Amino acid sequence: MATTKKARAKKPANKKTKRTNPAKSTAASGNPAKVQKATARDWIAGARLRTLSLAISPVAMGTAVAYYTLGYNLAIALLCLGVAMFLQIGVNYANDYSDGVRGTDAYRVGPSRLTGSGAAKPRTVLTVALVFFALAAAAGIAIVVLTGIWWLLAVGAVALVAAWFYTGGKRPYGYAGLGELVAFVFFGLVATVGTTYVMIEQAPLESILAGVIAGFFAAAILLVNNIRDREQDARVGKKTLAVRIGDLPSRIVFTVLLAGVYGVLVPFALLFEWAPLVYFTLLISAPVALIVLLARTPGELVLALKLTSLGALLTGLGLAAAIAF
């Protein structure tokens, strides 16, 4: 009998088990002690503060163009920064929630997520995301009240919808390979040109070109993140751009996006005395392009992601300073 029981005990170990969402597995086991409850540090990590370069850079450049053209309004500039930052953080938490409840993060190789790891309840993560969306909306409404440009409410509504449906809803566009395009539009053109417009009610060419620079960086940051998760996303049916076009083409597109940034910088370098100094950020961007082209491990792509975010911030702030001064 002892031999029979031992054989039976070993038998399940030979079966190939399907990997599932850790949050769901923990809930099913009835043993919450398996996963530590999210700490303040975990929540801060969930906000993914390094991505805030996507919010700071376009607002800085848009404000600089307004100042150079007609003048700027500090209160409105700060409100624009609030809209961009709250929206970015809201997107990050909403992405955490949506991917977690779908089970997309079950094969994740990047930093642990609040929902997918089971460290936080999905409803709590969703509530935090909605709070940041509400803060972004409040800042946007304040801008509309101060400027009297009421049609901007529609633009804000579209931005909130885009933020949610990146990974939320029944058919998220992030799962259809459109994430990079939407990031280019909203965290590039809309954020930069919108900042300039609410201050001077004009959209100068300089603001549009600066928006293209911000958009290239936004798309590149999202793309390198999706390159890192390409194999895992393919497993769960998340058809990002990296999944759709393949590994090497994705790495080439990333390099083209970074090269595009420095191509668009040319007019600024010809027009503004200090703008050529922004090309020193190539000391970051050139190695990043090389890392992405040659990377073999997720860790290398995480490093590329961090450096791309830093490059976006320094390029945006550097160009803003060159335009303004």
In this predicted structure, what is the pLDDT of residue 35?
A: 63
Cα→Cα distances 225→85, 151, 315, Å: 19, 34, 20
Alpha carbon 178 to chain centroid, angstroms: 13
- Tell me the H-state helices in the chain: 2-10, 22-29, 40-47, 53-69, 74-102, 122-147, 152-164, 179-184, 191-200, 205-228, 230-235, 241-245, 247-271, 282-294, 298-324
Per-residue b or e along 242-251, where b marks 16 or more CB atoms closer than 10 Å to that residue's CB? bbeeeeeebb
In this predicted structure, what is the pLDDT of residue 108?
A: 57
Q: What is the Cα–Cα distance from 157 to 245, expressed in whole angstroms?
A: 31
Report pTM: 0.85
Q: What is the Cα–Cα distance from 272 to 82, expressed in whole angstroms?
A: 28
Residue 138 neighbours by CB distance under 10 Å: 13
Tens-digit pLDDT string for the chain (325 aa): 444 444 444 444 444 444 444 444 444 333 444 668 888 888 998 888 888 999 999 999 999 999 999 998 999 999 999 999 999 999 999 998 988 888 766 555 556 678 888 888 989 999 999 999 999 999 999 999 999 999 999 999 999 999 999 888 888 998 899 999 999 999 999 999 999 999 999 999 999 999 999 999 999 999 999 999 999 888 888 899 999 999 999 999 999 999 999 999 999 999 999 999 999 999 999 999 999 999 999 999 999 999 999 999 999 999 999 999 9
In this predicted structure, what is the pLDDT of residue 67?
A: 97
- DSSP SS3 for 35: coil
In this predicted structure, what is the pLDDT of residue 237?
A: 84
**Amino acid letter for position 20:** T
User: Which residue has tokens 């997918």?
Assistant: 116
